[in-house]
Structure 1
Amino acid sequence: MSSSSQIHCGKCGKNYENNLNAESEWCKPCQREYLKENFSSWTSGNEKIDGLIQEMQLKIDGPRDIVFEWIPYNQFNDIIEERKDGFAIVYSAIWKNGPLSYSYFKKKLTRESDKKVALKCLYESKDITNEFLKEVKNFPKIYGISQNLDTEDYIMVFHNEYFEYLEKQCKSCHNIKLEDKWCNSCHVNFIRKNFISCNSGNKEIDEYIQGMQSNISNPNAIVFEWIPYYQFDNINEIGKDDTYAIYSAIWKNGPLHYEYMTGWVREPNKKVALKCFQNANNEFLNEVETYSANCYNDNLIYGISQNPSTKDYIIVIQDKYNKKCVECGKKYIDMQYEWYNPCQINHLRNEKIDSFIQEMRTNNESNNIDFNFIPYNQFNNVKEIGGGGFSKVYSAIWKNGPRCYSDDEKEWRRIPNKKVALKCSYDSQNFTKEFLNEVKTHLALNTEFFINIYGISQNSDTKDYIMILDYAEGGSFNNWLNNNYKEFSWSRKLKVLLYIIQGLKVIHQKSIVHRDLHTGNILFTTNNIDDFNVVISDTGLCGKVGNTETNIYGIMSYVAPEVLKGKHYTEAADIYSFGMIMYFAATGKQPFNDFAHDSEVLALNICNGTKPEINELKMPKCYVDLMKRCWDSNPKNRPSAIEVEKLITKFKLEESEEIKKQFKVAEEYRKADPLNNKSVTIQTQPAEELQNDDWPVDTIDFTMF
């Protein structure tokens, strides 16, 4: 701050409440007193409005808060109607003077002129209601109140983000939509009015059907309904036992479902299965509840019917009985996926690779990706995007694309022209076992926290084997943070770290250690700061817990001191690496960046207990404490991945007022940092150096440690 030793306000002499206020020279009592003294300089002409504005102004709590105020209507230019309904009209406008807020650099209140805002004008609001006042108080980004001089209607002046909020709101009932174009209450009312009625003649069943319809929560749901028995043709028995009989049938009208382009439609002449219960009792509805109305679920139910002759109740469900493979005529091994292993396995050429792929496909638990051998001529636009001591990585377009199973269509489908990553391991034709072990590890870690693997290929020129992986559009943590540094709030930092530690927990639960965890191996699925997933990549160095190999791999600044001293990798060594990732997330700097050009000196310092320099005032204390535990020189003092996950979750949920306060202050520091308002290049080690460090560090004399 401008006077780092100043902890008292120069005007009133009171202590600043926190370090951010001190750095900004922002004093809450002085600011509130200034606003209070200024009450006489403005008026809305309405006591209720004046009282509300004064109340809102005196709630100002920090230098980042906007000053809520009365805004004369003549302050708005370029007023354009954006949305209109039965309650209000919303306009976009330019506020000439703009909102009033405190400037960190000028140390005073300033305005942001020509600010685009949203004006919400309520009909007949010249008579102020409690509902109006409540909405003003509850919306987080509201600048103030104005009044249309012609209609005398009051206007709420919102941040321009209000239009994003409106997009999520149903235009008919004003409830928040659950999905794009989808409002639960409106759709339930619509289908009841236009399509169906509950008239089974049984009160309990009618109430059950109505309850199921009221629970429609997304456009993927099939409408559960009462289906008259005369709707079924071609009824044929499939099988029976003492409790029920199963029939196949054609439902003439077919099930009701939602399509974005056309709305609610039926699928006529739908083949279904009828599960008919003999002498049904209270257990009937219990049986109904074992099914799902989600169209992506294999256990799909359409509704209830009744045989008018026998009075037996019928559950109308998806036809999935007695299906056979169209290629070989044999019954499917797995009804859910209509999948018969021998028909899905291609005849491959390399015996060892063929055998491996067949084994992996047979043991594949998810069955939703067709893991296979892909000819190299399937790839276009092959471009090198990275590399290390063991491999190079390329982006490419896979012409045919991966073959994935569609739960919706109940069939295998290709995704043509799919952008993928090709990881080409050096000399892998001579190290087939090592290459296949890495592929096997990828498949073993088949969860949302790891990059997907589609199959194996082979470079026709070099004969090196290739792994076909998902392409991560956001790139590595290094690249992603360089693009998103300004918006990388503490909340987002915790979200990223939670993804990483959850992935590391999965690795450790499978008795594996990663051994090469650093920011270059953390990938982001998109560049979007608000919509991303984080995955761990490069499992090539993963090894079983207890492996006594002591070769040192990876990025020096992420390697634990005990490993540098000749001990083997453990889960605790991975946690040390995670501690360094916590440092990178908090600071935007690589750990030990000053040592980037001298690996031997860096190794010596790490072994002697040196840690990256941190400014603890700019980080939450609980975060710093955890980071220090993770990089503790003694591996026995480091927490497990499970404990780290629990603590980061606790931070993210702000489970205590103290945690909430610490992260609030840290976020204020981050926003006030001058570097946060300009283009920042994240400090990383040069690519050549990363490559040179990414092999066994056998050039260093470790006996000195």
Structure 2
Amino acid sequence: MFYWCCAEQPPTSAKVEPGSEVQDAKADEDTLLEVEEDDGKVSVTALPVLEQSVEEREEADFLPRKLEPEGASRVGSKEVSFEAREPKELPKSEGTFVEGAPAQQATEEQRQAFKRAIGRRTRLSLDAEHSRWRLSKDEIIMKKQLSYTLKSTLYLAAWKGTEVVMKCVQIQEEVGAREPSKQQVHSASSDPTASRPVQGNEVNEDLLEELLHEIELLSSLRHPDLVLFIGACLDKDAPVMCITEYMPGGDLERYYMARRNEHQTDRWRPPLTRILDWCSAVARALSFLHSRSEPIVHRDLKPLNLLLTKHLEVKVADLGISKMMAAVASDQYNMTGGVGSWLYMAPEVVRHKHYNEKVDIYAFALIMYFLSAGRAPFHQIGKDPELVLKEYVKGNEPRPTASDCHLQLRPVMIQAWNADASERPSAQEMVDILREARARVNKCEKQWRHNWMRRA
């Protein structure tokens, strides 16, 4: 019988008689034995042990032990073991920031979601180490809360002198205790960077899984029109934290609201050139997502998820519920619960029909309406988004009034919100159409300036 282990240097051999003790092997505990039988003599070869890396040992802590064959030795152990081991049950507290698994009264589905989150977190932790985007909680300094929902909380933080946004899964005890009027006030106990143990029943496993999914997706995406992913904190003694670039301009929804309040009007819109630039940025981001080898559907496009830089450039954010196209066919459309989501939902989704990446094109068309008209889509129906849903249930096809928008945008909007998804243009076609529209506007502006200078 042979027990092999790779070694960089050639092994040294020693011959001993059968039945004698192997002294050389005991002299070094970090050795494996290669035993050969040859004509009644036993040859014992000392081989150096290959130590496991830190990542391998961490991964091994999360995974069940495999039953080892009788008499087998384990590489990386400090002693040679010849005893078979029984499979070890998956620990309930290792590999995640929670101290305990979901309570006994939790459903089997919840427990399975909890285990899936552990597995994804372990895998992400190893990927983060390899790709060097894993961050330590000690590197992150929390400044203040930016916003929160029932799903997650966003904080303004500092990382190595740079302002960043930190996203954490909402803790249930924090939701019940928080008052809306004190959004900017936080005690030390609510600091997610603190090393306070978080109990398993405090965190919704589905929300944790969604955040881990977003981290996994963002870590593989790089595009100038997507909010930049910086890294993630996956420390065991702290909540999972997703770190992205800080967009000081806020989101487009609040930006428009602030301008309307400033001008004391129910309708406000910027110059057409700026609208075209914003639309082009969104179209480029969608083209990037949809044209990947595994296309990605954003599924939650709306003005709240379009963020502004300090120079008022738009970037697409929040890929938390985005999906690979391969997984879309068998998946329900999960909304974030916000009012805006319903307004920008494609009719095939409302009616629970099969959908593809064209749901993003439909949502984009309504975003174009919002930007150009200076008000929310379907405002003529009413402020309650459920009124729009009721129209779909009745079999109607409600659409915004295209005449509210700039003439240059009307044809592409009408085509993009077509009830038949197959008739909607692709994201790349939208990029081309908007580029041509921008060129025509530039030409008209240049001609206008030329004529004005001649008259002057």
**Same fold, TM exceeding 0.5?**
yes
1:448–1:343 Cα change, 3 Å: farther
Q: Secondary structure at the match of 2:275?
A: helix
Q: Percent identity?
A: 22
Does the 8 Å contact 1:523/1:535 carry over to 2?
yes
User: Is 2:140 the counterpart of 1:378?
Assistant: yes
Match for residue 435 of structure 1 among 207, 211, 215 = 211
Q: Aligned residue for 2:397?
A: 609
1:594, CA displacement in angstroms?
A: 5.1
Tell me the equivalent position of 2:156.
Answer: 395
User: What's the offset of the Cα at 1:434?
Assistant: 3.6
Is 2:329 the partner of 1:559?
no
Structure 2 residues without counterparts, runs of 5 or longer: 1-52, 60-93, 97-118, 172-202, 261-267, 449-456
Which amino acid is 1:611 matched to? R
CA shift at 1:355, angstroms?
A: 4.1
Q: Which residue matches 1:679?
A: none
SS of match in other structure, 2:332:
coil
Superposition deviation, residue 587 in structure 1 = 1.3
1-side partners of 2:232 and 2:322: how far apart? 19
Decide whether aligned partners of structure 1 residues 642 and 378 sit closer, same or farther in structure 2, where only a CA change above 3 A counts.
closer
Question: Is this contact kept in 2: 1:374–1:455, CA < 8 A?
Answer: no
SS at match of 1:421: strand
Q: 1:540 aligns with which of 298, 320, 326?
A: 320
Q: 1:460 to 1:588 in 2, by over 3 A?
A: farther
Q: 2 CA distance for matches of 1:429 and 1:632?
A: 37
Distance 1:551 1:502 in 2: 24
Aligned residues: 289
State the match for 2:127 in structure 1. 359
CA drift of 1:515 comes to: 0.5
What amino acid is the match of 1:465?
A: V
**Counterpart residue number, 2:231:** 455
Amino acid paired to 1:518? K
Q: How does 1:634-645 map to 2 (within 5 A)?
A: 634-645=420-431
Per-residue CA deviation, residues 384-421 of structure 1 (Å, 9 max, x unaligned), is x223443222222x2xx2xxxxxxxxxxxxx32x2221
Q: Choose which of 305, 308, 319 in structure 2 pairs with 1:524.
A: 308
The structure-2 alpha-carbon separation of the partners of 1:656 and 1:439, relative to structure 1 and needing over 3 Å to count, comes to: closer
Pairing 1:71-86 to 2, within 5 Å after superposition:
none
Q: Deviations over 1:123-156 (max 9, x none)?
A: xxxxxxxxxxxxxxxxxxxxxxxxxxxxxxxxxx
Unaligned runs of 5+ in 1: 1-341, 365-369, 402-414, 665-705
Match in the other structure for 1:587: 373
1:489 to 260, 271, 278: 271
If each structure's helix is expressed as a fraction of its own residues, which one has the higher value? 2
What SS does the corresponding residue of 1:535 show, helix, strand or coil?
A: strand
AA in 2 matched with 1:373 = L
Distance across 2 between alignment mates of 1:388 and 1:541: 15
1:159-170 to 2 correspondences below 5 Å: none
1:488, distance to aligned residue in structure 2 (A): 1.8
**Residues 325-364 of structure 1 mapped to structure 2, 5 A cutoff:** 350=95, 353=121, 355-360=123-128, 362=130, 364=131
Q: How far apart are residue 361 of structure 1 and its match?
A: 5.0
TM-score by length of 1: 0.37
Q: Greater CA deviation, 498-507 or 546-555?
A: 546-555
Which of 397, 402, 406 aligns to 1:619? It is 406
Q: Tell me which amino acid in the other structure corresponds to 2:170.
A: Y
Distance, in Å, in 1 between the alignment partners of 2:95 and 2:334 is 33
Structure 1, residues 503-555: CA drift from partner, whole Å, max 9, x if none? Answer: 011111121100000000000111xxxx3332111100100114121234141
Aligned match of 1:423: 167
Structure 1 residue 572, shift from structure 2 partner? 0.8
- Structure 2 equivalent of residue 323 of structure 1: none
Root mean square deviation, CA, Å:
3.5
**Structure with greater proportional strand content:** 1
The 1:376/1:591 distance shift into structure 2, 3 A limit, reads farther
Secondary structure at 1:423's aligned position in 2? Answer: strand
Over 3 Å counting, the alpha-carbon distance change for 1:556 and 1:430 in structure 2 is: closer
One-letter identity of the residue aligned with 1:492: R
TM-score relative to the length of structure 2: 0.56
